[in-house]
Structure 1
Amino acid sequence: MCTCTSHEHDQAEAEQAGAGRRNFLRATALIGAATAAVAIPTATAQAAPVPAVSASKTRWRPDPDSSRFTLVVMPDTQYLFDGASINPAPIEASLRYILEQGEDDNIVFLSHLGDLTENGAQAEVTAASKAFGLLDRRGVGYSVLAGNHDVKSSTDDQRGPTPYLDAFGPQRFKDKPTFGGASPDGYNTFHLFKAAGRQWLVLALDWRLSAQGYAWAKDVIARHPKMPVILTTHELVYEADTLSPYGQQLWDRLVKEHDQIFLTLNGHNWPAGRAVRRNAAGNDVHLHLTNYQNRYYGGAAMIRLYRFDLDRDTIDVETISPWILGRAGDGLNELERQEIELTGPQDRFSVAIDFEKRFSGFAPVSPRGPRSASEMLVRGTVAYWRFDGHAEGAAMDGTVRDLSGRGNDLTVVKVADGSLTWSSEHHPDQPGHGSLYFHGDKSPLRGAYLRTAENAPLNSATFRGGYTFEAFYQLPGDWDPSRNAWGGLISRTGTGGAAGKTEGDPDEPLATLSLSDGPGPQWAVRPLNQQGIATNWGDETAREVWWHVAVVNDGSHTTLYVQGCPVARNPTARSVGLTSLGLPWLLGGYEYAGKIDQILHGRLGDVRIVERALPVTSFMNH
């Protein structure tokens, strides 16, 4: 139960609206549209001009490569365009929200789900059409399909001319970059947008499909065989987990047999609901019903924001009323406070979808191919080792060549008859498609590691001008911190005490990129300008997952990156170069007090050392 006063509640709603919507109220046109219709609308509202969108606004251009994008869904708005009761203000507020938030939310498309008007009458359609001019002037991609109130409900897509078709037929969309085409009758359209680096298809279908309509829809999908399809129509889901009779027909005749359709959106019925059905390919199809015409102010042109996040394999769904949000600063009435944002389980939720797996049946992602060693030899490369081209499980003996040409070759050192084997496994973004499997153990100490020769040029390098150390690694499921913690990925031999740097533990090596008991990467070194040890701590990294780690020093400060992302525990103290005693470097081994103390238990992929700071975009996983 809320314990705040009515005044406090209004104030809280206003603050929520301002902060939570990224200051979209900076759009004065939106505020004007929202406040223009507080009272019951009258017929004179039909003649009210649509406020102009600022001429300084650029054309609508979503980011086509971002892994995050938003699809906006607007269901039945019929009670706002009903005979003498015509009030475009709420829908204009929603459309202005799209214009104002388009860049911040990376809005790629708007789908109206039909029943735009109550009677499909000319005056109603004209008023609605004028409102959508807000999007037309900025080139925003959208679709508006026909619901049973926009056309004669007893007809299908072969009904012929209507006011709806005159206003929202294919001629309206033909110049938009997202428009793909229409059925010969004009009542069915498809639209294409690019997001997350791929093309997506929106199929906007009429209230009732004829045989010709079904054939056309199937042909559109067949002509775009690798595109994920979002099907929009007016009626499909009837209530939570139930399809209407027509919805079942649509499922049986179209959705079920076309694996590309992974999401369907419809209005018509209420309350909002969701269903999941398994298609013929054995994959889930998410079917969503969204409609708010039974709520305050005929739904107040509420919109749903489908926020796709392909990094998280999730769609986050949010339902808001921009018209009410725009008026929050003036104080809201009792019903508006309830409707400003809907947070019930059918209105605010997340859908987990492994997009790569879900789309693999029609658009499999090709694994990234290997890249040549020469491509990895950026300016300043002083060592580059890779472990590809060998049979899985074969014993590794002999020498690993330094592909930089600097002569920092590696040889194997075995402890207690330990073994080192080749592996074909690798990080998906690794240049070389192979790795070395280190079988280290501390109880008792055994395994094998790699070591540079006594005269290798790398041994004496101090990196005073900066450096970048990179490596790919994976730890097996049986990695145990009591036996495997602090195995080194890359380590420099020689102790702090031997170098005259006795602050802290003098037996620690001069430099090591090791894996803590988390396990997580840790960079601990003796810089030239410090007596003590400078340490960068990484977060825990999961077992049986490939990781890329990089340590970058720009000549004065050091930053540790995991998967190209900086970690939190990067010290701000000045750090210049690396202390050297001219002794070898180790891969897979870690010395303490001048003796081997731990050997890596896990796989090590490509390793590169560069004598300058590299930007993230130049890392080996890019």
Structure 2
Amino acid sequence: MYAWNHLEHKWKVVTKKIAGKKDFTLRGTVNVSEYMMDHKINVLIQDEIPATANDYDYTFVWMSDTQYYSMTYPYIFDTQTQWIANNKNVLKIKYVFHTGDLVEESFKEDQWNHADKYMKTLENANVPYGVLAGNHDVDHKTSDYTQFYKYFGESRFTDKSYYGETYKNNRGHYDLISAHGNDYIMVYMGWGVDAEGIAWMNHVLVEHPDRKAILSFHEYLMASGTRHPNGEKIYKEVVLKNPNVMAVLSGHYHESQTIVDEIDDNRDGKPDRKVYQMLADYQAGPEGGQGYMRLLHIDQDNNRIIVNTYSPYMKDYNFYNTDVYPGKDEFVMDLDMQPSEKRVSTDSFEVNVYTDTEIGKKENVNSGMFAEVQWNGLTENNSYAWYSVVTDDFTGKTVSKIWTFTKGKADEQYHETVIDITMRKHPRTRTGETQ
């Protein structure tokens, strides 16, 4: 339920409820001075699937476990990325996550060719995206990343403006995304997260404390809705230690689960932030998941992210029936989505202006010799600036930095500079100009 705040001139969330099969009552409380105008309060009741793109500021899309599409149903994979590309402007899509298992069998080139082709649809549409390796993208026994490196290694992304830094040839990496005044850092770590990888993630997050962080792994939450032991390790050693982490995405297990932890960063007994940890993997469904993927609609004015699940292949919302499983595929993330205030400060600012007014000129100056000119007409106690240009007969040219001085007593008629000219390839004379 929304109510119109006439002081702030916008709709604000008053209350909400996850619908089930039975009828229910929505009841909320508002401040009369803020919400009543002409003895009326304007109220709007709305489903969590946004009616139009006007209900949010921009969208992130989250794909995962497309392995069966690469192996058996490539047309579903094609439909997913083509839909994202086609709706880039309509849905204001700023970024796409992929949390691993691009292919089912890492040794099958045809599956990699499918993944390569359909993810390239996003590149051709200039939609930023990030990927990581799932357990099926590497050798099961040795965790060999060779094939993943071949198709989705660092070289694929180095020319992307949003690509931040790589860890071991894109085994891990981060992307930098900005939208509507909010700066994000999307941190990825592929299959086999170890102590070195955790140290790298912590280093990256500490370097970007003012960016809202979303972490992506293949394995984090289990189908039971609890953290896997590896996920628990990441939670304790990365999530808890970095106050800018707001969400964790993962796949691997065939389920849809969400847990929310409230974290007291400053240990004053009050929660400072919420961290939404989500699992979304639909591959156990018909046709390898029928193309369902998550849409994260960011509504900054109301400090929330509206989450729902959509399949462009089925043209249908939500894999799980919302009447039977309320809140599983459609819910709201309550987060502080206000942009951080940014201020740039500097100790000094300098502008150097090179003029073309010539003070004097010396020609035929040999290497190792001194060149000097007299600057007449200077006024006592005034400041002056000058620089030198040295050229030769072979288009060679050197320009010095700008020096400054203040004219002293009247008997100081000129300011002297020494120019050391070193001849290398062409031992001929040079001309020195002082300006």
Cα 1:154–1:287 change in 2 (3 A) is farther
Deviation, 1:212, is 2.1
| Matching of residues 87-126 of structure 1 within 5 Å | 87-121=73-107, 122-126=109-113
Deviation, 1:211, is 2.4
Cα 1:310–1:342 change in 2 (3 A) is farther
| Matching of residues 361-380 of structure 1 within 5 Å | 363=340
Unaligned runs of at least 5 residues, structure 2: 1-20, 22-49, 266-270, 344-435
Q: Give, in whole Å, the separation in 1 of the partners of 2:319 and 2:223.
A: 23
| Pair 1:190-2:174 in alignment | yes
| Matching of residues 146-545 of structure 1 within 5 Å | 146-153=133-140, 159=144, 161-239=145-223, 241-279=225-263, 281=265, 282=271, 283-325=273-315, 343=322, 344=325, 345-356=327-338, 363=340
Deviation, 1:270, is 2.5
Render the CA deviation track for 1:350-401: whole Å, top value 9, x for unaligned.
1122334xx8xxx5678xxxxxxxxxxxxxxxxxxxxxxxxxxxxxxxxxxx
Render the CA deviation track for 1:285-320: whole Å, top value 9, x for unaligned.
110110100111111232110001001111111111
Q: Give, in whole Å, the separation in 1 of the partners of 2:203 and 2:321.
A: 38
Deviation, 1:223, is 1.7
Deviation, 1:155, is 5.1
Deviation, 1:21, is 9.3
Query: Which secondary structure state, in structure 2, belongs to the residue aligned with residue 270 of structure 1?
Result: coil
Cα 1:252–1:152 change in 2 (3 A) is farther
Letter of the 2:250 counterpart: N
Structure 2 contact 320–328 (Cα < 8 Å) conserved:
no
Look up the match of 2:60. 71
Render the CA deviation track for 1:567-590: whole Å, top value 9, x for unaligned.
xxxxxxxxxxxxxxxxxxxxxxxx
Q: Give, in whole Å, the separation in 2 of the partners of 1:170 and 1:21.
A: 39
Render the CA deviation track for 1:225-283: whole Å, top value 9, x for unaligned.
21010001111111354111111111112111111111011111122000112335142
Structure 1 contact 180–192 (Cα < 8 Å) conserved:
yes
Render the CA deviation track for 1:514-546: whole Å, top value 9, x for unaligned.
xxxxxxxxxxxxxxxxxxxxxxxxxxxxxxxxx
Cα 1:169–1:213 change in 2 (3 A) is same
Render the CA deviation track for 1:187-210: whole Å, top value 9, x for unaligned.
101111111212211111112222
Cα 1:143–1:323 change in 2 (3 A) is same
Cα 1:236–1:173 change in 2 (3 A) is same
Render the CA deviation track for 1:111-166: whole Å, top value 9, x for unaligned.
0110111111222112211111211212221011110111134556xx4x411111
Letter of the 2:122 counterpart: L
Cα 1:131–1:113 change in 2 (3 A) is same
Structure 1 contact 320–342 (Cα < 8 Å) conserved:
no
Q: Give, in whole Å, the separation in 1 of the partners of 2:225 and 2:342.
A: 32
TM-score normalised to structure 2 length? 0.61
Letter of the 2:303 counterpart: D
Render the CA deviation track for 1:392-430: whole Å, top value 9, x for unaligned.
xxxxxxxxxxxxxxxxxxxxxxxxxxxxxxxxxxxxxxx
Greater RCO (Cα-Cα under 8 Å, separation 6 or more): 2
Q: Give, in whole Å, the separation in 2 of the partners of 1:280 and 1:188.
A: 28
Letter of the 1:231 counterpart: L
| Matching of residues 10-159 of structure 1 within 5 Å | 68-82=57-71, 85=72, 87-121=73-107, 122-153=109-140, 159=144
Q: Give, in whole Å, the separation in 2 of the partners of 1:257 and 1:116.
A: 30
Query: Which secondary structure state, in structure 1, belongs to the residue aligned with residue 102 of structure 2?
Result: coil
Cα 1:272–1:126 change in 2 (3 A) is same
Q: Give, in whole Å, the separation in 2 of the partners of 1:338 and 1:262.
A: 25
Query: Which secondary structure state, in structure 1, belongs to the residue aligned with residue 277 of structure 2?
Result: strand
Structure 1 contact 272–346 (Cα < 8 Å) conserved:
yes
Structure 1 contact 139–176 (Cα < 8 Å) conserved:
no
Q: Give, in whole Å, the separation in 2 of the partners of 1:118 and 1:292.
A: 14
Structure 2 contact 178–184 (Cα < 8 Å) conserved:
yes
Deviation, 1:169, is 1.1
Structure 2 contact 308–318 (Cα < 8 Å) conserved:
no
Q: Give, in whole Å, the separation in 1 of the partners of 2:51 and 2:156.
A: 30
Query: Which secondary structure state, in structure 2, belongs to the residue aligned with residue 311 of structure 1?
Result: coil
Letter of the 2:227 counterpart: L
Q: Give, in whole Å, the separation in 2 of the partners of 1:195 and 1:143.
A: 16
Structure 1 contact 69–108 (Cα < 8 Å) conserved:
yes
Query: Which secondary structure state, in structure 2, belongs to the residue aligned with residue 238 of structure 1?
Result: coil
Query: Which secondary structure state, in structure 1, belongs to the residue aligned with residue 156 of structure 2?
Result: helix
Query: Which secondary structure state, in structure 1, belongs to the residue aligned with residue 122 of structure 2?
Result: helix
Letter of the 1:200 counterpart: Y
Query: Which secondary structure state, in structure 1, belongs to the residue aligned with residue 86 of structure 2?
Result: helix
Look up the match of 2:18. none
TM-score normalised to structure 1 length? 0.43
Query: Which secondary structure state, in structure 1, belongs to the residue aligned with residue 149 of structure 2?
Result: helix
Query: Which secondary structure state, in structure 2, belongs to the residue aligned with residue 110 of structure 1?
Result: strand
Deviation, 1:342, is 5.6
Q: Give, in whole Å, the separation in 1 of the partners of 2:290 and 2:250.
A: 18
Letter of the 1:287 counterpart: Q
Structure 2 contact 260–274 (Cα < 8 Å) conserved:
yes
Q: Give, in whole Å, the separation in 1 of the partners of 2:318 and 2:306.
A: 19
Q: Give, in whole Å, the separation in 2 of the partners of 1:191 and 1:143.
A: 7
CA RMSD between the two structures: 2.7
Identity of aligned residues (%): 28
Cα 1:116–1:234 change in 2 (3 A) is same
- Report the number of matched residues: 285
Cα 1:307–1:338 change in 2 (3 A) is closer
Letter of the 1:72 counterpart: V
Structure 1 contact 237–266 (Cα < 8 Å) conserved:
yes
